[in-house]
Structure 1
Amino acid sequence: MEHENFNDLLAFVAVAREGSFTKAAKQLGVSQSALSHTIRGLETRLGIRLLTRTTRSVSPTEAGERLLNTAAPRFDEITQELASLSELRDKPAGTIRITAAEHAANNVLWPKLSAIMHDYPDVKIDINVDYSMTNIVTQRFDAGVRLGDSVEKDMIAVRIGPDLRMAVVGTPEYFSRHPKPRTPHDLQQHRCINLRLPTHGNLQIWEFEKNGAPLNVRVDGQWVFNNTSSRLRAALAGYGLAYVPEDMVEDHVKDGTLLRVLREWCPTFPGYHLYYPSRRQSSLAFTLVVDALRI
């Protein structure tokens, strides 16, 4: 294929990844009609259909999937290499994209990275708050954050936080009207504030453990959120019990705003780890971020 057609391949990769001509056109800074014309021209020259179009979605055909899996990683490598050339300067520079859940973003990434960012004005941090198990390679993130036991084996994992423990909390006013639960099973008689997970839209199962025996409970209540801070806010407002990381509620428990229950049932989880592909070429900016987060 001639060099002038590389732009057509980049256009195809954008559409295939986004699953939308509208989103891809916005990303590329071109009109939707121009982008559609470009893709049709590429398909005509190749003599094969690359995308299946419906009124609601765009998806690669078998040939398109093959081209995407072949071309996209190579364009990503070129982009990373070009970006790394700028790192040959004396100071770190560039944008580092990280995906993490809200708690990790607020309690680990923000305090550690904000402490160094003033000293490196040419470094940009792009944090995407997401509870889903994001594929950082296909979504083009430099790194992600997960609990240690959920990182894929083919990734490099760097521990960036201590082990986590969960806490079940409610207000004194709530417990004045409801008896404190003695076991996790008692939670089914309480108003509990749920977390909706992005994967399949399921509600979070509250996980407990005592004497090495796990016990999982499904709970119900008036409120369901897709983030942790909203659940804590609802608990503080007296709407029921929340199941959140204990470091989020330590101050509230100390001052009596919240009461903690089922402490002996709340397990400890492996702490947060920063993970990234083993083949990733480290830039000065990325190395700076990893070193700042590492414990």
Structure 2
Amino acid sequence: MSDTSFDGLKAFLTVAELKSFTAAATRLDVTTTAVSKAVKLLELRHDVVLLQRTTRHVALTEAGATLFASLRPAVDQIDDAFSALHASRGRPSGTLRLTMPRALGALLIKPLTVQYRRICPDVAIDISLDDSAVDLVASGFDAGIRLGEAVAQDMVAVRLTPDLTWSVVGSPDYFVQAGRPAAPEDLTAHETIRYRFLASGGLHRWAFYRKGQAFHVETSGKIIVNDTTLIRGFARAGMGLAYLPDMEAGADIDNGRLERVLQGFLRPTSGLFMYFPVRTQHQPKLRAFIDMAVHEVKTLSTASLLAPE
């Protein structure tokens, strides 16, 4: 194997992971031109096209996807080796990459990031807010935060919050105009603001319980979005009813901007968990974040999490 066999691999792997030459250049602290040139030389050296480039998108070719899948485990082993070196120095360092849902994750991560930066000043934090399911290993994340029911079984999961309570909410103005549903079935006559899952494209089904039996109501509505913060804003504006966790809607409920209905038909669901692969949990940067998060979340009051912007 020649000395140049590995030239450009770091650039290729970073572009393949981030699907962007610009983002890869930022992570590698070089110019976009340098990244593009490195990948191009790698392709020319091996006479293969690894990435399809357009003005807007970067995608792996079949050959590129095969190479990326083959090299990713080796890169992870190399990262682990360097993490072990950092551990021997006794001080967390590097970049901690986290993924979490946009609204609920943002509520938690703001106070946690402030505290983590105090105790681990040498660690950079790269946070991705994404409501869809994320493969940590394939996407290069160290850990994620998701509802417990969404965590894959092969991950280590650490509980961060109690089970979440939910509410069907609307604005006072909406109820004046449309009335209040007395039973979940009444929702078919109401305007509802619906959530669409980004990955599957499916719509969130509103879950209810009666005499211990779960059932769903297929609601209708003229507003569909894939962001719960927008749903809450539309509900406050009187545009329909919303189905939201109290952790997100609680401040608006407390100050009267939103009002609950159908509370007797709702049950809690799993809370938020931090999850990560078994092999990564001893990295100093991640171990420090886990220990800090578990401690800090216990001290955070509901009021502080739900304080309006």
> Aligned ranges for residues 5-44 of structure 1 at < 5 Å?
5-18=5-18, 29-31=31-33, 34-35=37-38, 37-44=40-47
Secondary structure of the 2:7 match is helix
Check conservation: 2:8, 2:39, Cα contact below 8 A.
no
* Alpha-carbon distance between aligned partners in 1 of 2:252 and 2:281, rounded to the nearest angstrom: 43
Structure 2 counterparts to residues 39-118 of structure 1, below 5 A: 39-44=42-47, 49=48, 51=50, 53=52, 58-61=59-62, 64-118=64-118
Change in 2 beyond 3 A, CA 1:33/1:153: closer
Match of 1:135 in 2: 135
Unaligned stretches of 5+ in structure 2?
A: 299-309
SS of residue matched to 1:4 = coil
Question: What's 1:203 paired with?
Answer: 203
Aligned alpha-carbon RMSD (Å): 2.7
Change (3 A) 1:109 1:53: closer
> Displacement, 1:23?
6.3
SS class of match (1:224): strand
1:280 aligns with 2:280: yes
Q: Deviations over 1:114-136 (max 9, x none)?
A: 34432432233222110010111
Distance 1:126 1:26 in 2: 12
Displacement of 1:143 in angstroms is 0.3
Which amino acid in 2 is paired with 1:108? L
Aligned pair count reads 290
Instruction: Report the counterpart of residue 302 of structure 2 in structure 1.
Output: none
Tell me the distance in 2 between the aligned counterparts of 1:22 and 1:110. 26
Between stretches 248-257 and 152-161, larger displacement belongs to 248-257
Shift of 1:146: 1.5
Within 1, Cα distance between the matches of 2:85 and 2:166? 44
Partner of 1:220: 220
Structure 1 stretch 104-113 or stretch 21-30: which is displaced more?
Answer: 21-30
Query: What is the percentage of aligned positions where both structures have the same residue?
Result: 33
- Equivalent-residue separation in structure 2 for 1:57 and 1:174 (angstroms): 45
Gap change, CA 1:65 and 1:234, over 3 Å in 2: closer
Deviation per residue, 1:155-174 (Å, 9 max, x gap): 11111111012111111221
Task: Summarize deviations over 1:222-270 as a string: whole Å, max 9, x none.
Answer: 4333222221121111111111111233343334332100111222111
Higher mean C-alpha deviation, range 10-19 or range 163-172: 10-19
Residues 74 and 221 of structure 1, relative CA distance in 2, 3 Å threshold: same
Q: CA deviation at 1:176?
A: 1.0
Query: 1:227 is matched by which residue type in structure 2?
Result: D
What letter corresponds to residue 161 of structure 2 in structure 1?
A: G
Asked whether the equivalents of residues 104 and 145 of structure 1 are also in contact (C-alpha less than 8 Å), the reply is: no
Deviation at 1:57, TM superposition (A): 5.9
- Letter in structure 2 aligned against 1:37: K
> Does the CA contact (< 8 Å) of 1:234 and 1:240 recur in 2?
yes
Evaluate the alpha carbon distance shift between residue 173 and residue 66 of structure 1 in structure 2; reply closer, same or farther with a 3 A threshold: closer
What is the aligned partner in structure 1 of residue 168 from structure 2?
Answer: 168
Kept in 2, the 8 Å contact 1:205–1:217? The answer is: yes
1:190 partner amino acid: H
Task: Tell me how far 1:281 sits from its aligned partner.
Answer: 5.3
Amino acid in structure 1 at the alignment position of 2:225: F
The Cα offsets for residues 65-111 of structure 1, whole Å up to 9 and x where unpaired, read as 44322212212321343244234335433321110002332333333
1:209 aligned partner, one-letter code: Y
